[in-house]
Amino acid sequence: MKGKKINSNTLLLLITIALFFVMYIAGCVVYANKGFTHLQTFLNVLINNAGLLCVACGMTCVMLTGGIDISVGSLIAMDCMFLAVGMERWGMSAPLLCLLVLVIGLVFGAVQGFCIGYLEIQPFIVTMAGMFFARGMTAVISTDQVSISSNQFFVNLANMKFQIPFGAYTNSKGVLQIPFVRITVLIALVVLVVVFLMLRYTKFGRSLYAVGGNEQSATMMGLDVKRTKLKAYMLSSFLCSIGGICYCLNTMSGSVQQALGLEMDAISSAVIGGTLLTGGVGNVIGSFFGVLINGTISTLVKTNGKLLSSWSNIAVAALLCFFIVLQSIFAKIKESKK
Amino acid sequence: MSNVKKITGMRLFLPIFCMVLVMAVNILYDVASGNFALNFFTISIRNGVLYGRLIDILNRGSEIAILAIGMTLVVSASAGTDISVGSVMSLAASFCCMLLAGYGVSSTTDLAMPLIAGVLGGILLACVCGAFNGFLVAYLNVQPMVATLILYSAARAIGLLLCNNLIVYVREDSFKTIGGYLGFIPTPIVIAAVCVVIVAVILKKTALGLYIQSVGINKRASRIAGLNSSRIIFLCYVVCGLGAGIAGVVAASRISSADSNNIGLNYELDAILSVALGGNSLGGGKFNLAGSIIGAYTIQAITTTLYALGVSSDVAPVYKAIIVIIIVTIQAPPFKAYMKKRSAKKALAKGGAAA
Amino acid sequence: MDNNVVLTMRGITMTFPGVKALDGVDFTLRKGEIHALMGENGAGKSTLIKCLTGINAFEAGEIHVDGINGPVVNHSTLDAQKKGISTVYQEVNLCPNLSVAENLFIGREPKTKLGTIDWKAMVKRSEQIMKDLDMNIDVTQNLEEYSLALQQMIAIARAVDMDCKVLILDEPTSSLDDHEVEKLFKLMNQLKDKGVGIIFVTHFLEQVYAVCDRITVLRNGQLVGEYPIADLPRVKLVAAMMGKDFDDLAAIKSEESPTFTDADLLIDAKGLSHKGTIKPFDLQIHKGEVVGLTGLLGSGRSELARVIYGADKNQTGTLKVKGTEAKIGAPIDAMNLGMGLLPDDRKAEGIIGDLSVRENIILALQAKRGIFKLLPMKEQIELADKYIEMLQIKTASRETLIKQLSGGNQQKVILARWLATDPDFLILDEPTRGIDVGTKTEIQKLVLKLAKEGKGLIFISSEIEEMLRTCTKMAVLRDGQKVGEITESLTQETVMKAIAGGGANE
If you write DSSP's letter for every residue of B123-185 in order, what string do you get? HHHHHHHHHHHHIIIIIH---HHHHHHHHHHHHHHHHHHHTTTS-EEE--HHHHHHTSEETTE
Question: Which residues are A33's β-sheet partners?
Answer: none
CA distance C479 to C301: 10
Chain C neighbors of A222, CB-CB under 8 A: 76-78, 81, 107
The number of angstroms, rounded, from the C-alpha of B206 to the middle of its chain's C-alpha atoms is 23
Q: How confident is the model at residue C503 (pLDDT cuts 50, 70, 90)?
A: very low
Contact flag C352-B207 (C-beta cutoff 8 Å)? no
Task: Residue window 206-235, chain B: list those with CB within 8 Å of chain C.
Answer: 206-208, 210-211, 213-214, 217-218, 220-228
Contact flag A324-B335 (C-beta cutoff 8 Å)? no
Query: What is the reported pLDDT for B297?
Result: 93
Could you list the beta-strand ranges (E) of C212-338: 214-219, 222-228, 265-274, 278-286, 290-294, 316-321, 324-325
Contact flag A209-C76 (C-beta cutoff 8 Å)? no
Chain C neighbors of B11, CB-CB under 8 A: none
- On whether the CB atoms of residues B168 and B97 are closer than 8 A, the answer is yes
Query: What is the reported pLDDT for B7?
Result: 64
For B205, counting Cβ atoms within 10 Å of its Cβ (0-12 exposed, 13-18 middle, 19+ buried), the class is exposed
Q: Map out the domains of chain A as residue ranges.
A: 8-330
Tell whether domain A8-330 is in CATH 3.30.360.
no
CA distance C69 to C64: 8
Contact flag C352-B221 (C-beta cutoff 8 Å)? yes
Helices (H) and strands (E) in chain A, counts: 14, 6
CA distance A293 to chain C (A): 26
CB-nearest to A310 from B160, B332, B333 is B160
Contact flag C332-B222 (C-beta cutoff 8 Å)? no
- In 3D space, the residue among C168, C232, C231, C228 whose CA is nearest the CA of residue C205 turns out to be C232
Instruction: Give the chain A residue nearest C312 (alpha carbons).
Output: A336
CB-nearest to A115 from B283, B315, B329 is B329
- In 3D space, the residue among A92, A82, A118, A91 whose CA is nearest the CA of residue A234 turns out to be A118
Contact flag A217-C95 (C-beta cutoff 8 Å)? yes
Query: How long is chain C?
Result: 506
Q: Residue A10 CB: number of other CB atoms within 10 A?
A: 15
For residue range C211-233, list pLDDT tens digits in order: 999 999 988 788 888 999 888 88
Query: What is the reported pLDDT for C17?
Result: 64
Mean pLDDT of C183-207: 83
H/E stretch holding C413: helix C407-419
Query: What is the reported pLDDT for C41?
Result: 63
- Interface test with chain A among C91, C97, C105, by most A beta carbons within 10 Å: C97
Max distance between CA atoms of chain B, in angstroms, equals: 84
For residue range C199-216, list pLDDT tens digits in order: 998 877 778 888 999 999
CB-nearest to C348 from B206, B211, B220 is B220
Chain B neighbors of C332, CB-CB under 8 A: 226-228
For residue range A198-223, list pLDDT tens digits in order: 999 999 999 999 999 988 888 878 78
Q: How many CA atoms lie within 13 A of A1 on its CB side?
A: 11
Residue B340 has pLDDT above 50, yes or no: yes
Chain A neighbors of C158, CB-CB under 8 A: 221
Chain A neighbors of C124, CB-CB under 8 A: none
Q: Write a three-state SS string for C305-353.
A: HHHHHCCCCCCEEEEEECCEECCCCCHHHHHHCCEEEECCCHHHHHCCC
Instruction: Give the chain A residue nearest C313 (alpha carbons).
Output: A336
C5-248 CATH pick, 3.40.50.300, 3.40.640.10, 3.20.20.70, 3.30.720.110:
3.40.50.300
Mean pLDDT of B85-109: 91
Mean pLDDT of C384-391: 91
Residue C40 has pLDDT above 90, yes or no: no
Contact flag A132-B329 (C-beta cutoff 8 Å)? no
- In 3D space, the residue among C135, C159, C129 whose CA is nearest the CA of residue C147 turns out to be C135
Contact flag A214-C140 (C-beta cutoff 8 Å)? no
Residue B184 has pLDDT above 60, yes or no: yes
Who's near A199: CB < 8 A, 6+ residues apart?
A61, A64, A205, A206, A208, A209, A283, A284
CB-nearest to A277 from B146, B161, B317 is B146
Q: Does C94 or C262 have the greater pLDDT score?
A: C94
CB-nearest to B146 from A137, A310, A324 is A324
Contact flag C117-A201 (C-beta cutoff 8 Å)? yes
Query: What is the reported pLDDT for C294?
Result: 84
Minimum mean pLDDT among B126-140, B228-242, C94-108, C167-181: which range?
A: C167-181
CA distance C162 to A220: 14
CB-nearest to A143 from B151, B269, B314 is B314
Contact flag A280-C142 (C-beta cutoff 8 Å)? no
CA triplet C88, C94, C97: central angle to 5 degrees? 165
Mapping DSSP to helix (H, G, I), strand (E, B) and coil, where does residue A199 land?
helix
Residue B296 has pLDDT above 90, yes or no: yes
Residue type, C125: R
Pairing of strands C316-321, C265-274: antiparallel
CA distance C128 to C30: 29
Query: What is the reported pLDDT for C42?
Result: 65
For A39, counting Cβ atoms within 10 Å of its Cβ (0-12 exposed, 13-18 middle, 19+ buried), the class is middle
Q: Which chains touch B (3 or more CB pairs under 8 A)?
A: A, C
Tell me which DSSP letter residue B45 carries: E
Who's near A89: CB < 8 A, 6+ residues apart?
A142, A146
DSSP assignment of C153-207, as one string?
A: HHHHHHHHTT--SEEEEESTTTT--HHHHHHHHHHHHHHHHTT-EEEEE-S-HHH
CA distance C177 to C118: 35
CA distance A273 to A243: 19
Who's near B9: CB < 8 A, 6+ residues apart?
none
Chain C neighbors of A335, CB-CB under 8 A: none
- On whether the CB atoms of residues B252 and B180 are closer than 8 A, the answer is no
Minimum mean pLDDT among B114-123, B217-226, C61-70: which range?
A: C61-70
Q: Residue B217 CB: number of other CB atoms within 10 A?
A: 22
CA triplet A297, A298, A299: central angle to 5 degrees? 90
Contact flag C354-B217 (C-beta cutoff 8 Å)? yes
Minimum mean pLDDT among A136-140, B84-88, C252-256: which range?
A: C252-256
Query: What is the reported pLDDT for C506?
Result: 35
Q: Residue C430 CB: number of other CB atoms within 10 A?
A: 21
CA distance A142 to chain C (A): 44
Q: Map out the domains of chain C as residue ranges.
A: 5-248, 263-338+424-506, 342-422
- On whether the CB atoms of residues A275 and A287 are closer than 8 A, the answer is yes
- Given CA atoms A319, A321, A326, A331 in this order, what sign does their dihedral have? positive
Contact flag C373-B213 (C-beta cutoff 8 Å)? no
Residue A223 contacts C, CB cutoff 8 Å:
yes
Contact flag C276-A337 (C-beta cutoff 8 Å)? yes
Question: Which residues are C217's β-sheet partners?
Answer: C38, C225
Query: What is the reported pLDDT for C216?
Result: 92
For residue range A299-328, list pLDDT tens digits in order: 888 888 787 778 888 998 998 899 888 888
Chain B neighbors of A267, CB-CB under 8 A: 146, 149
CA distance C229 to C494: 25
Contact flag A214-C76 (C-beta cutoff 8 Å)? no
CA distance B265 to chain A (A): 11
Backbone angles phi, psi at C389, to 5 degrees: -75, -50
Contact flag A280-C94 (C-beta cutoff 8 Å)? no
Contact flag C352-B214 (C-beta cutoff 8 Å)? yes
Q: Residue C459 CB: number of other CB atoms within 10 A?
A: 28
Residue A14 has pLDDT above 50, yes or no: yes
CA distance C103 to A214: 12
Q: How many CA atoms lie within 13 A of C238 on its CB side?
A: 11
Query: What is the reported pLDDT for B344?
Result: 81
Residue C437 has pLDDT above 70, yes or no: no
CA distance C266 to C334: 13
- On whether the CB atoms of residues B299 and B225 are closer than 8 A, the answer is no
Who's near B57: CB < 8 A, 6+ residues apart?
B297, B300, B301, B304
Task: Residue window 92-131, chain A: list those with CB within 8 Å of chain B.
Answer: 115, 118-122, 124-126, 128-131
Query: What is the reported pLDDT for C175?
Result: 64
List residues of chain C with CB under 8 Å from any CB of chain A. 76-78, 81, 87, 89, 92-98, 102-103, 106-107, 109, 116-117, 119, 138, 140-142, 145, 158, 275-276
Q: How many CA atoms lie within 13 A of A213 on its CB side?
A: 28
Residue A338 contacts C, CB cutoff 8 Å:
yes
Chain C neighbors of B221, CB-CB under 8 A: 343, 348-352
Residue A143 contacts B, CB cutoff 8 Å:
yes
Contact flag A7-C142 (C-beta cutoff 8 Å)? yes
CATH code of the region C263-338+424-506 = 3.40.50.300
For C172, counting Cβ atoms within 10 Å of its Cβ (0-12 exposed, 13-18 middle, 19+ buried), the class is buried
For residue range C127-176, list pLDDT tens digits in order: 988 887 777 888 888 888 887 778 877 888 888 787 778 889 887 776 67
- In 3D space, the residue among A127, A136, A258, A125 whose CA is nearest the CA of residue B318 turns out to be A136
Contact flag A217-C142 (C-beta cutoff 8 Å)? no
Mapping DSSP to helix (H, G, I), strand (E, B) and coil, where does residue C226 land?
strand
CB-nearest to C95 from A2, A210, A336 is A210
CA distance A17 to chain C (A): 22
Q: How confident is the model at residue A56 (pLDDT cuts 50, 70, 90)?
A: very high
CA distance C48 to C53: 9
Chain B neighbors of C375, CB-CB under 8 A: 207
Report how far apart, in Å, the C-alpha atoms of C462 and of each of C301, C429, C465 are: 10, 10, 9
CA distance A319 to chain B (A): 10
CA distance B209 to B226: 15
Contact flag A213-C106 (C-beta cutoff 8 Å)? no
Residue A112 has pLDDT above 90, yes or no: yes
Contact flag C368-B226 (C-beta cutoff 8 Å)? yes
Residue B9 contacts C, CB cutoff 8 Å:
no
For residue range B259-284, list pLDDT tens digits in order: 888 888 889 889 998 998 888 888 88
Backbone angles phi, psi at C77, to 5 degrees: -60, -35
Report how far apart, in Å, the C-alpha atoms of B237 and of each of B91, B131, B140, B142, B255 are: 16, 6, 14, 13, 27
Backbone angles phi, psi at B77, to 5 degrees: -80, -35
For residue range B23-50, list pLDDT tens digits in order: 888 888 888 888 777 777 888 888 878 8
